[in-house]
Homo-oligomer: A and B are copies of this chain.
Amino acid sequence: MTEQDAVKLMNDMGRRARAAAARLAVLRPEVKNRALMAMADRFEAAAADITAANAHDLDAGREKGLSAAMLDRLRLDNNRIVAMADALRQVARLDDPVGEIYDMRTRPNGIRVGRMRAPFGVIGIIYESRPNVTADAGALCVKSGNAVILRGGSEAIHSNSILARLMDEVGTEAGLPENAVQLVPTTDRSAVHAMLQMNGLIDLIIPRGGRSLIEMVVRESTIPVIKHYDGNCHVYVDASADLDMAERIVMNAKCQRPGVCNAAESLLVHEAVAADFLPRIGQRLAGAGVEIRGDDAVCALVPTAKQATEDDHRTEFLDLIISAAVVPSLDAAIAWINEHGSHHTDAIVTRDHDNAMRFLSGVDSACVHVNASTRFSDGGEYGMGCEIGISTDKLHARGPMGLVELTTSKFVVLGEGQVRD
């Protein structure tokens, strides 16, 4: 595909999306919800077609030599199709954020000034392997009143194509505008490059995938991007911590599901409790099969610990490994986290109110927890109902992103003929 063809293809998609977006923005919630429910039913009814399309992707993946883990991420079986359909139904049941007016105040001249939540317009999602993102991201965008242009990975092109086609077909039957959900029909990279330059047609780009994908998008995009980078999450055990609580939280944060971004990767312990706490947590962690990579102070107190490198303290292991260090003060812990962490989720265990508040203010992360496991850092656990990802950006959305984060706001002014003096 020539660069020119890619630009034309993508701009045509963008114009169709923009036309859909104008109609989606003023659609009643019940129409959107009915469409999402109908999409869910159609996924289940068309399960055989979906698995057949998916089989093409799996065959191609095997030929390309994808790993077993990659093939598993790519696979759609009946259970996963039902789970995907249920996710759409859950999104349909969430409150509609569009049109909510908040922060209303009356000015001295009588005008009422407030803010109204409004869709962005057109959102571009660029993602890798897992085809359920097509359904999830499509549903969240439609519910929040946005048209979406989906660009999935080449490994999943057949699966993504049928899912997006079904969503658009069923959606249109149920009252959505045509082209509310579009999938880029080519895996040619030039289409992505064109997409990232479509200011005025796409309002927001959300890349979901590995660091190299996200870095490419940031480098090339002239459209605003919301990014989802690593989670190198810390648990800091303060001098005043309840050490039983600290043990429970460290074990849960590290071991409950080590392969996810809100698992703890690093343990900091105040020197005043190091001699009490480190030997016992060292034993518990070793018992759970966790390798500890510590600084000198940790190694002196934990016989099973290995010496940590500087890199270890900055690494998201996503595995049964934890880095550990002893710090002389709360301020040193905060500075350490801001320096070594990834600004995702960090927790303090403490009984001291001032220290809790100081940690909340001082740690520059999307999520800061007091006496609670880092594993709660999740849209569902936070009560947001769903999430399109966890933003490690500071602009617009930080931390778990739900439906509200897929909207922008506009100022609304209600007057009775006021003019400015």
Which of B204, B251, B335, B362 makes the CB contact (< 8 A) with A394?
Answer: B204
Q: A107-B381, A113-B382, A395-B396 are in contact. Are A360 and B248 (CB under 8 A)?
A: no
The contact of A372 among B256, B372, B418, by CB within 8 Å, is B418
Q: Is the CB of A204 within 8 A of B420?
A: no
| In contact, A375 and B420 (Cβ under 8 angstroms) | yes
Copies of this protein in the complex: 2
Q: Say yes or no: is A341 at the interface (Cβ < 8 Å to chain B).
A: no
Residues B113 and A25 in contact, CB atoms below 8 Å apart = no
Mask for A238-263, Cβ within 8 A of B = 1, else 0?
00001001001101110010000000
- With beta carbons under 8 angstroms apart, the residue of B204, B413, B420 that contacts A367 is B413
Is A335 in contact with B22, judged by CB distance below 8 angstroms? Answer: yes
A388 to chain B, nearest CB (A): 15
Assess whether A222 is interfacial by the CB under 8 Å rule: yes
Whether A40 sits at the interface, judged by CB under 8 Å, is no
Pick from A56-64, A115-123, A279-287 the stretch touching chain B: A115-123
B364 contacts A415, C-beta separation under 8 Å: no
Chain B contacts for A358, CB-based, 8 A: 26
Query: CB < 8 Å: which of B111, B118, B225, B369 contacts A364?
Result: B118
Contact between chains at B372 and A412 (CB < 8 Å): no
Q: A269 in the interface, Cβ–Cβ < 8 Å? A: no
A400 to B111 Cα, complex, angstroms: 16
CB closest residue in chain B, given A145: B361
Residue A190 is within 8 A (CB to CB) of chain B in the complex: no
Q: How far is the CA of A381 from the CA of B111 in the complex (A)?
A: 10
Q: Which of A113, A204, A367, A373 is packed against the most chain B CB atoms within 10 Å?
A: A113
Q: Are A373 and B224 in contact (CB under 8 A)?
A: no
When chains A and B are docked, how far (Å) is the Cα of A65 from the Cα of B212?
Answer: 49
- Given A107-B381, A120-B394, A256-B420, are A413 and B361 neighbors across the interface (CB < 8 Å)? no
Q: Say yes or no: B408 contacts A121, CB within 8 Å.
A: no
B394 touches A399 (CB 8 A): no
Q: Which residues of B contact A356 (CB under 8 A)?
A: 414
- Chain A 374-392 interface mask (CB, 8 Å, partner B; 1/0): 0111000111000000000
A244 CA / B332 CA spacing, docked (Å):
66
Q: Do the beta carbons of A395 and B395 come within 8 Å of each other?
A: yes
Central interface residue in A358, A381, A394, by most chain B CB within 10 Å: A394
Q: Nearest Cβ in chain B — how far from A383, in angstroms?
A: 5
* A378 closest partner in B (C-beta): B420
- The interface bits of chain A over 98-110 (1 if a CB of B lies within 8 angstroms of the residue's CB, else 0) are 0100000101000
Known: A222-B218, A396-B395. A366 touches B410 (CB 8 A): yes
1/0 per residue A127-150: CB within 8 Å of B?
A: 000000000000000000000000
In this complex, what residue of B is CB-closest to A248?
A: B419
Q: Does A151 interact with chain B (Cβ within 8 Å)? A: no
Are A361 and B118 touching (Cβ within 8 A)?
A: yes
Minimal beta-carbon separation of A181 from chain B (angstroms): 20
A11 CB-CB contact with B under 8 Å: no
Q: What residues of chain B lie closer than 8 Å to A338, measured between beta carbons? A: 22
What are the interface flags for A290-330 relative to B under an 8 Å C-beta threshold, 1 for contact and 0 otherwise? 00000000000000000000000000000000000000000
Q: Enumerate the 7 nearest inter-chain pairs by beta-carbon distance, A residue then B residue, closest first.
A: A372-B415, A252-B419, A396-B396, A394-B408, A375-B420, A245-B417, A369-B413
Beyond the given pairs A368-B410, A376-B418, A395-B395, 12 more chain A to chain B contacts, judged by CB atoms under 8 angstroms and listed by A's residue number, are A26-B361, A105-B383, A120-B394, A121-B394, A204-B395, A219-B222, A249-B419, A366-B411, A371-B416, A371-B417, A398-B411, A399-B409
